Amino acid sequence: MTSSTTTTASGQPGNGDAGGVVDGVVGVPGGIGASARAARADALDAWLRTLLPAREGVALVAVGGLGRRQCAPYGDLDLLLLHAGVPGVDDLAAGIWYPVWDAGLRLDHSVRTVAEALSVAQDDVKVALGLLDARHVAGDAALAEQLIRTGTDHWRRTAVRQLPGLREITAARWETHGELAFLLEGDLKEAAGGLRDVGILRAIAIAGITDALRPAVRAAHLRLLDTRDALHTQVGRRVDRLLAQERDGVAALLGLRQLPADAGPGAVDEGDALLRRVAGDARTVSHALDDAFRATDRLRAGRRRGVDGRPLRRPVARDVVEHDGELVLARTAIGARPDPSLSLRVAAAAATTRLPIARATCEWLAAYCPSLPAPWPAEARAALITLLGAGPGLVPAWETCDRYGLVDGWLPEWTRMRSLPQHNPVHRFTLDRHLVQTAYEASRHTREVDRPDLLLLGALLHDAGKGLGGDHSVVGAPLAEAVATRIGLPEHEVTLIGRLVRLHLLLPDVATRRDLADPKTIAGVAGKVGDTTTLDLLHALVRADAAATGPAAWSDWKGRLVAELVARVRTTLDTGVLPEPPAPDPALLAGPLPVVHQTGDRVAVAAADRRGLLATVAGCLALHRLEVISADASTVDGRALVECRVQPRYGLAPDPIALTADLRRAVTGDVSVTQRLRGRALAARGAGAAPRVVWHREAATDAVVLELRAADAAGLLYRVTCALDEAGAQVRAARISTLGADVVDAFYLVGGWPDDVTRARVESAVLAAV
């Protein structure tokens, strides 16, 4: 669309209403904003009316931007000449199209009857959507109204059937143009989250499937339209891709703040402010479209209902229920006083089940979930680790929570990092998405490290210093330590998190820039790393960081160099010692046996030492639907001690009297309890990486350590300890740790290093039990 813009005294384009001339006939206003777009539509309407003589049975209908009255400064014209079979319509069409072309405007045009237009819409979903924007401009208003009304009615009747095809087309477009939120030079119209997707949301809303155009979406839409207006004005022609060289000019036209000359580190320039605004708006649109497509899917599939005719409800976690394919709060949670960890627990449930959180639930959590105290309660900390370690479900769950402001309540630092662009072509994501993606990638390596929980947290925080100036590894370390302290980690773990952030680039930097055959190189890395726990965490973090960055950030060559460096540093550090188990509760060391103590989430049992005691206690807890979060088994002065931290599987605490009675009977050999344990089917939770057994020769003075890394499952501890007992392995002590969706279980087996045959037999029994 030909246009000129007003200028300010400084010569910069302004937002005035002075317009250009189309074919010497009509002034088309320039400018940015809703009023400017409406003024352009009014001017074009007035001019087009002069091109169509008044005649019954013929109407000029606008679709696209003119139909919506959202004309960009250099946008196209989409026009339909509608007729009722009158003669001479081709001449009428030529009298319109040629003046438009002569004016230098790009034109998409068609000549159809109402029946023809509806027939095309029947076969082409894009045409059907276009009719939803149809607006009478000139000629027979009744004929235009017939098409508009009939086209809308037709869409409402057929939308559910046509939307799957539209979804396929949309997915193909996304594959071609990428995600607007994460692109440094994205297409404002065609990329995922762009203006084209707003049109789909409008169509879904017109069909009455869901309220797709909520206020946040409408506000995002207006800002994206303003950005396109500014881009057209800046470039002086029709263009929808926001190129880097146009960024600062577009930002200035939109009035985004410019930095003073003395701006300090961390200040965001106007170009970055524009990218962050576009990214936030695109994410709002994308999230709304995902939600709308899910509503369509539910409508097509129908609701699964119970015998009372209501949608089925299924508990999936404490205070969280699946309802009609989405996660909602249990009724008891809504009626009770919400605890600060509730939003994190809902997010963790969404990530592990890969089910979306219902919009109303997100809104309720944003409005009523209280702030987390400092330090966090253990339940909130455990939920965060579960969320971060959930694998593919992490990103959509985190994105949903971020859209409703829940993440800011967990991590106030997130506000600064949200949608921060990374001006490195290697990076495919904004900073915040990169951090979440790194945590997802790190979940693939949790079974390779001693502290998967710290790996996940370090992955989320490893680039926290970006955007603040200086070396982001050095700047980010104290920020990460502050987060770890607020979350409630002990001091030595806070220090380790800071070390991971400070050193997260050490291995790739040294591997690719130093002589790995030089002993000084290896000694220097070993001196900085300090221990093999940190070394393994850094190695896993390096690979996760690279995978989250993009394909150009890693190669087989680089991987081999890093692996060689790690192997040499490991040899220098001479590793093998595991942390000592915690001291037993003194109350268990005195009094007649058996002793059973229950305090909050802790269950402790002391009994006469015998084989299989740990398995018996673990099975009894599983029988009462208690998940073992952590457990310690040891022998002190002839007493076998088992101490566990537990949580109810579905938030329903067992009867403490019944649990104590079963534990007492079980540890004294009551066969009725044993039969119940063996009779209950305790199935594994499901998919994930293959379980792994690792042997540690030098981890203990009088035992060898068998370490199992596997997916968590109901009754897993019971099955594995039974398998060890049946394989003839005597368990002297055990450290059981459940970290998110995974477990890392260390079993201290009495005796020296087993031979190959014995080791293979025991390992096979354990893996079969998993």
pLDDT tens for residues 380-399?
A: 999 999 999 999 999 999 99
Query: Are 266 and 174 a contacting pair, CB within 8 Å?
Result: no
- For 312, the token pair is 């089925």
For 239-288, write each residue's pLDDT tens digit.
999 998 999 999 999 998 654 444 454 455 567 899 999 999 999 999 99
Write the single-letter amino acid at 561. Answer: L
Q: What are phi and psi of 27, to 5 degrees?
A: -80, 125
Query: Are 738 and 722 a contacting pair, CB within 8 Å?
Result: no
Question: What is the C-alpha to C-alpha distance for residues 62 and 70, in angstroms, rounded to an integer?
Answer: 12
Residue entry with tokens 């004005």? 233
Query: Are 445 and 739 a contacting pair, CB within 8 Å?
Result: no
CB atoms within 10 A of CB 446: 25
Query: Are 611 and 732 a contacting pair, CB within 8 Å?
Result: no
DSSP class of 400: H
Prior bond of 594 cis (ω within 30°)? yes
Looking at residues 405-417, what average pLDDT do you find?
Answer: 95
b/e code 477-501 from CB counts within 10 Å (16+ = b): bebbbbbbbbbbbeeebbebbbbbb
Question: What is the C-alpha to C-alpha distance for residues 748 and 740, in angstroms, rounded to an integer?
Answer: 23
For 304-345, write each residue's pLDDT tens digit.
555 555 667 889 999 999 998 899 999 888 877 778 999 999
pTM over 0.75: no
Question: What is the C-alpha to C-alpha distance for residues 313 and 325, in angstroms, rounded to an integer?
Answer: 9
Question: What is the C-alpha to C-alpha distance for residues 490 and 579, in angstroms, rounded to an integer?
Answer: 15
Beta bridge partners of 60: 81, 138
Question: What is the C-alpha to C-alpha distance for residues 438 and 561, in angstroms, rounded to an integer?
Answer: 21
Q: What's residue 676's pLDDT?
A: 77
Helix (H, G, I), strand (E, B) or coil at 321: strand
Helix (H, G, I), strand (E, B) or coil at 315: strand
Q: What's residue 574's pLDDT?
A: 65
Closest of 476, 470, 469 to residue 500, by C-alpha: 476
Looking at residues 463-481, what average pLDDT do you find?
Answer: 94
Query: Are 691 and 708 a contacting pair, CB within 8 Å?
Result: yes
Q: What's residue 226's pLDDT?
A: 96
Query: Are 160 and 293 a contacting pair, CB within 8 Å?
Result: no
Alpha helices by DSSP H, listed for 668-745, are 671-679, 716-726
Question: What is the C-alpha to C-alpha distance for residues 55 and 138, in angstroms, rounded to an integer?
Answer: 10
Write the single-letter amino acid at 539. Answer: H
Residue 147 contacts by C-beta under 8 Å, 6 or more apart in sequence?
59, 61, 82, 114, 117, 118, 131, 134
Q: What's residue 310's pLDDT?
A: 67
> Does residue 652 register a pLDDT over 90?
no
Alpha helices by DSSP H, listed for 574-634, are 613-623
Q: What's residue 477's pLDDT?
A: 97
- For 455, the token pair is 């790996």
For 710-735, write each residue's pLDDT tens digit.
887 777 888 898 899 889 888 777 77
Question: What does pLDDT average to over the chain?
Answer: 86
